[in-house]
Structure 1
Amino acid sequence: MEDILKKITDKTYADLKIRKEIRTLSDLREMPHYTRETISMHDALKNGSGIIAEHKRQSPSKGSFKCPATLEQVVKGYENAGASAISCLTDEPFFGGTLQDLLDTRDCVDIPILRKDFMVDLYQIHEARAFGADAILLIASCLNDEELKTMANEAINLDLDILFEVHDLEELNRVKKVVQDFKTSTYLIGVNNRDLKKFKTDIQISKDLLEHFPKKALAISESGISDPEVVRELQDLGYRGFLIGENFMKTNDPGRTCAKFIKQTTL
């Protein structure tokens, strides 16, 4: 099977080269949100529903979700539903997202926003800051150890929370080495239940990896979560955050679906 992750990251590098020519780092620093006080996603997840509700138009494996709701309707609906944070896809070629989506989401909600993208360059962290994100995603399978460390430190310097994403024990151990010298404890580690190379999903991955987490990390489970009972089960194990997109976006009213889902997780 084709390595979809490599295809995505190759395209990311190509698109990034163009964006750097259009908008310099100096330009990014001049944008209004660049100096905005960020909102802690770590604290919001720890003290709220734990649901990171995602705006996601399509996926490489499922195609378009054909959701009729506008971005504003979706993200405001999520906030009103009680989501702790919003995940905003900004990858356009494969997920149909844009940086404008991130900017528009920031203008719509007052809860933390995660920029969900394939981050491979420091420039993207400054983009995230400039376009209104409060947190970034660092996918272990996209970065080597030095890149993970450099990108994480840059995010910390810009007051952005970090969600490290892992899929197996080897990747988790790599992240543990990166965070062992952190002076901050407000980082998150997410287990992606979907294999980004084959796009197959298995919740058991979250269950197997939790015991190997560092004690300070807030544990997040990502992808393939469609049953409130699964959330309750993972909560009992120790997970505090749940990133859910497809289950909401495949409906006509993601906000309403999210509200019903959150209510069922607290029964």
Structure 2
Amino acid sequence: MPTILDKIIDEKKKEIIQLQESGFSSLNRAFTPEKGLFETVKSSEHLRVIAEIKRASPSKGDIKTEVIPAEQAKLYEKHGACAISVLTDTPFFKGTMEDLASVREAVSLPILCKDFIIDEIQIERAKDAGANVVLLIAAALDEGRLRELYKKAVELGLEVLLEIHDEEEMELALSIGAKIIGINNRNLKTFEVDLGTTEKLAALAREHDVVIISESGFQSRENAERAAATGAGAILVGETLMRSENLSKTFQSFHVKKGE
């Protein structure tokens, strides 16, 4: 039986065919921040927050469909986000590349294009819209394709958040030379969340010059402290920030020292 990830990738394949046949309209927002994501996270004494703009998701349905991405991004920047993640998938997350372009005009932080990338044209499109970091998901690609897309992103001057979920994928990420490794606490096949995933996998990268981003499941200070204790340098937070009625308080709850 097809998983949610299988269904998403099938839709992406259709999207790629359309992009390859018609190309994409340039949004002309390419921009390089003074400090990249790796350097920003690596140099901080505190756990950093990559704040996500997320209208909806397959597991939670609508979250905040009426959000104005540029305004949300300004709030995130004001409250201390180290980067902004923008969901650009439309069928499952109700995001658009125009969302990312509008965020690029609003903030000077690094921007992560959060999508299911399976082809080089998506990377080119993300850079054109103003992304500085692209997400590559190990579970969505075979090894050869993952290496090719990683190389393409680097050639374009982009950083890569290489997302993994198990020991084998961590070994692959390290062999590729990934500098920013995202450990997704959410199983993309079942969409169940377990913060123990970061605890288990982060230890495998401690001897390497990488930054670990723990993704999914952050709702409280205790969650943040748990991630920080593993050696994670940042957490990626979407739904909790999108639903927050007091962003200042929510960001403060995630402000913990690395290693705590």
TM above 0.5, one fold?
yes
| Matched residue, 1:92 | 90
Distance 2:82 2:60 in 1: 26
Q: Corresponding residue for 1:262?
A: 251
Unpaired runs of 5+ in structure 1?
Answer: none
Q: How does 1:3-18 map to 2 (within 5 A)?
A: 3-18=3-18
Q: Distance in 2 between matches of 1:69 and 1:119?
A: 24
Return the match for 1:243 from 232, 236, 245: 236
SS at match of 1:151: helix
State the secondary structure of the residue aligned to 1:154: helix
TM-score by length of 1: 0.88
- 1:217 counterpart (204, 210, 220): 210
Cα distance in 1 for partners of 2:255, 2:115 equals 30
Distance in 2 (CA, whole Å) between partners of 1:15 and 1:153 is 22
Q: Does 1:64 align with 2:62?
A: yes
Give per-residue Cα distances to partners, 1:72-127, cap 9 Å, x unaligned.
Answer: 22111100010000000000000010000010110111101000000100111111
Query: Cα deviations across residues 146-176 of structure 1 (Å, max 9, x unaligned)?
Result: 1111111111111111100001111111222
- TM-score of the pair, normalised by structure 2: 0.91
In the alignment, is the contact (CA less than 8 A) between 2:63 and 2:243 conserved in 1?
yes
Aligned to 1:190: 182
The list of structure 1 runs, each at least 4 consecutive aligned residues, that deviate by more than 6 angstroms after superposition, is none
Q: Residue 175 of structure 2 corresponds to which residue in structure 1? A: 177
How far residue 225 of structure 1 moved from its aligned partner, in angstroms, is 1.1
5 Å matches for 1:48-63?
48=44, 50-63=48-61
| CA shift for structure 1 position 265 | 3.1
* % identical aligned pairs: 35
> Cα deviations across residues 37-70 of structure 1 (Å, max 9, x unaligned)?
3551112223455100000000001100136542
Amino acid at match of 1:111: L
- Contact map agreement 1:67 1:249 (CA 8 A) in 2: no
Structure-2 residue corresponding to 1:77: 75
The answer (yes or no) to whether the contact 2:89–2:95 under 8 Å persists in 1 is: yes
